Amino acid sequence: MRRILVAGNWKMNLLQNQGAALSQALAGKYASCAVEILVCPASPYLSSVATTTRGSAVQLGAQNLYFAPQGAFTGEVCGDMLKDVGCTWVLVGHSERRQFFGEHDELLAKKVAAGLQHGLKVVLCVGELLAERQAGQTEAVLEKQMAGLAQVSAEQMANIVIAYEPVWAIGTGVTASTEQAQQAHAFLRGQLKSRYGEAIASATRILYGGSVKADNALELLSQPDVDGALVGGASLKADPFIAIIEAGIQAQTQKS
């Protein structure tokens, strides 16, 4: 049974006080929770969010890391630093990193490996552009992006989550239909099966991201291969994010 994970990617939003208020609201409500909850603030605020969420069910993740263990890499942050400030998770390969910062699969495979080496759980993000979907290339693109797992052993897969985020659905208000999401997730699970076998494929969580809101979360999370949500805009305020967590709890109950 896969435990649903509801993750908020705050991206480059929320100043310290805003992030503290939001994380306090979440931590206050969820001392424990039937689903896993994760928030990923901007890196300057990881420490302050760690302080407000400590001892609650709200886990802390970073939005990015660099693969080198330390050294002369101006502007970058390594896995040890993320662990040091209280992160247990890191996002790797978000489409905004791929699109705006030129991150490619070879680099991302190194980042995934570095995150795992430093004891972090890694959310590897994949997803096709609109033009790629329209050209019928969705599965080819997803298969190629799964190369982010190139250095991940079967044992390490327990600390990997995949996030399917179709780029055309991110921040656009256009959500993938439940059929589109389920189809892509089933394809990704098939990819996991061919890489790691049936047991690992069926144990690995695959999140959906792209305009997840309170009113579409339950339907998406009820799909058999959708094991959680990676939420952008709707994770920036307590009420809509809590509504998505509650939808996760309901979906978890339905599935068990």
Active site residues per annotation? 94, 165
- Which of 61, 115, 228, 232 is in the footprint of ligand 13P by CB under 6 A? 232
- Which of 58, 65, 124, 230 is in the footprint of ligand 13P by CB under 6 A? 230
- Which of 9, 23, 52, 64 is in the footprint of ligand 13P by CB under 6 A? 9
**Rounded-to-integer distance, Cα 20 and Cα 53, Å:** 9
Which single residue brings its beta carbon nearest to ligand 13P?
232
Q: Which helix (H) or strand (E) holds 208?
A: strand 206-209
**Rounded-to-integer distance, Cα 134 and Cα 148, Å:** 24
Cα 86 from chain centre: 17
Tokens 């649903």 map to which residue? 4
Tokens 């994970």 map to which residue? 5
Quick one: 209 or 228, whose CB is closer to ligand 13P? 209
**Rounded-to-integer distance, Cα 182 and Cα 14, Å:** 32
> Taking CB under 6 A as the rule, does residue 225 contact ligand 13P?
no
Give, as ranges, the residues between 151 and 190 that touch ligand 13P (CB under 6 A): 165, 170-171
> Taking CB under 6 A as the rule, does residue 228 contact ligand 13P?
no
Angle between helices 16-29 and 46-53 (to 10 degrees): 20
Quick one: 84 or 215, whose CB is closer to ligand 13P? 215
Chain contacts with ligand 13P (rule: CB under 6 A): 9, 94, 165, 170-171, 209-212, 230-234
